[in-house]
A = this chain, B = another copy of it.
Amino acid sequence: MRKKVTLKQLAKELNLSISTVSKSLKNDSEISQKTINRVHELASFYNYKPNALAVSLKSSKTKTIGIILPEILNHFFAKVLFGIEQEVSKSGYKILTCITNESYKKEVEYVEMLNYSSVDGFIVALSQETQVLNKLDHFKVLKRDNVPVIMFDRVSNEIDCDKVIVDDMEASKNAIQYLVNKGSKKIAVITTISDLSVAKLRLEGAKEVVSKNDKVSLIELSVKNTDGIEAEIEKFLRDNTIDAVLGLDETAAVITINMSHKLGYKIPKDISVIGFTDGLLAKHSYPKLTTVSQHAEELGARAAQILVNQLDNFVENHKPKTEVVKTSLIIRDSTN
């Protein structure tokens, strides 16, 4: 086991004290140029790097950010993670990634674990179960410990922290309005995520637009994302005469497309489809899905920026803000 070289060993070999070596490596003006050179030379010879643990223990900064995600197999969160990683690595931060699998219990455990691992801050999207139970004490502890938290997408009003969200209601309104303008009269909203705060906002937005148009009607289908989902959506499409579908999540939208094929409905001639998603399925569906893009990468990058900025430029008495990332309606073949 070849051990990594330490200040102590460099000091010994150079016949200097540990502190002189330490200062030299920081090019401290107190130290003679000659010594500085000698130190640097030996240090780079041994490829010396300070032990991050020791530095962290001393400084109580770990340059590490805890990321709490409900899922990772969902492309949205994968994209957010990618955005976060890209952004924080620019500033020399590392990410500890935890996946709660939508479980409240795991979320609590992970938050505690990372807190005691001294992460400098958190970026969090709440688990579904947490949103349903609405128990948030684990985050209040962080607040008390003065650990910065940024929440994104799945946020809670009960926690006073910076947030980065998508304007789901607005996005939904735009999507429905677009369908209405195209002439849709009977619009279905299909969701597999009805428990989530974001789904509620999307539904609300849809209802609002429809309520202002007496010629347009709305019908809802909420299904669980299980094996029977395809059959359920198929039945729904057969039993209801509709001319447009807004899928509140990618799965709902793509299955709608596939089941429409199966039933012989032409897209977009017989039925237009829009889905909330940043996912790959949309691009590779046939026909290509018109989507409400949540700009997942940007969302992640923005959350990361806000956190890193807060960590690097220590802000006293920071007033938490909620930032809204704009969505865009990306029009593709399924409505065109």
Chain A residues with CB under 8 Å of chain B are 1-2, 4, 49-54, 56-57, 62, 64, 72-73, 75, 78-79, 81-82, 85-86, 89, 94-99, 112-114, 116-118, 144-146, 254-255, 257-258, 261, 279-281, 284-286
B82 touches A2 (CB 8 A): no
Alpha-carbon distance A234/B289, docked complex (angstroms): 20
B98 touches A94 (CB 8 A): yes
Which of B4, B57, B81, B99 meets A72, CB within 8 Å?
A: B81
For the complex of A and B, list the 7 residue pairs with the smallest distance between their C-beta atoms, beginning with the closest. A49-B116, A1-B146, A52-B117, A97-B97, A53-B57, A254-B284, A78-B78
B62 touches A53 (CB 8 A): yes
Q: Tell me whether A114 and B99 are in contact in the complex, defined as CB-CB below 8 angstroms, given that A62-B53, A286-B261 are known contacts.
A: no
Which of B52, B64, B72, B255 meets A78, CB within 8 Å?
A: B72
Which B-chain residue is minimally distant from A109 (CB atoms)? B89
B75 touches A82 (CB 8 A): no
Which B-chain residue is minimally distant from A254 (CB atoms)? B284
Contact residues in B for A54 (Cβ distance below 8 Å): 57
10 A-B pairs whose Cβ atoms sit less than 8 Å apart in the complex:
A51-B118, A72-B81, A72-B85, A75-B78, A82-B99, A86-B99, A94-B96, A95-B96, A279-B280, A280-B280
Contact residues in B for A112 (Cβ distance below 8 Å): 49
B145 touches A4 (CB 8 A): yes
By CB atoms of chain B within 10 A, which of A73, A79, A96, A144 has the most? A73
Number of identical protomers: 2
- Measured CB to CB, the closest approach of chain B to A245, in angstroms, equals 15
Contact residues in B for A85 (Cβ distance below 8 Å): 72, 97-99
Which B-chain residue is minimally distant from A4 (CB atoms)? B145
Alpha-carbon distance A1/B54, docked complex (angstroms): 22
- Measured CB to CB, the closest approach of chain B to A314, in angstroms, equals 11
Q: Tell me whether A2 and B94 are in contact in the complex, defined as CB-CB below 8 angstroms, given that A62-B53, A72-B82 are known contacts.
A: no
Alpha-carbon distance A197/B321, docked complex (angstroms): 47
Contact residues in B for A257 (Cβ distance below 8 Å): 286
Which of B57, B114, B116, B284 meets A258, CB within 8 Å?
A: B284
A144 touches B98 (CB 8 A): no
Contact residues in B for A1 (Cβ distance below 8 Å): 145-146
Which of B82, B146, B281 meets A281, CB within 8 Å?
A: B281
Which B-chain residue is minimally distant from A92 (CB atoms)? B113
A95 touches B94 (CB 8 A): no
Contact residues in B for A97 (Cβ distance below 8 Å): 81, 85, 95-97
A75 touches B73 (CB 8 A): yes
Q: Tell me whether A94 and B82 are in contact in the complex, defined as CB-CB below 8 angstroms, given that A57-B54, A144-B2 are known contacts.
A: no
Q: Tell me whether A284 and B281 are in contact in the complex, defined as CB-CB below 8 angstroms, given that A56-B53, A81-B72 are known contacts.
A: yes
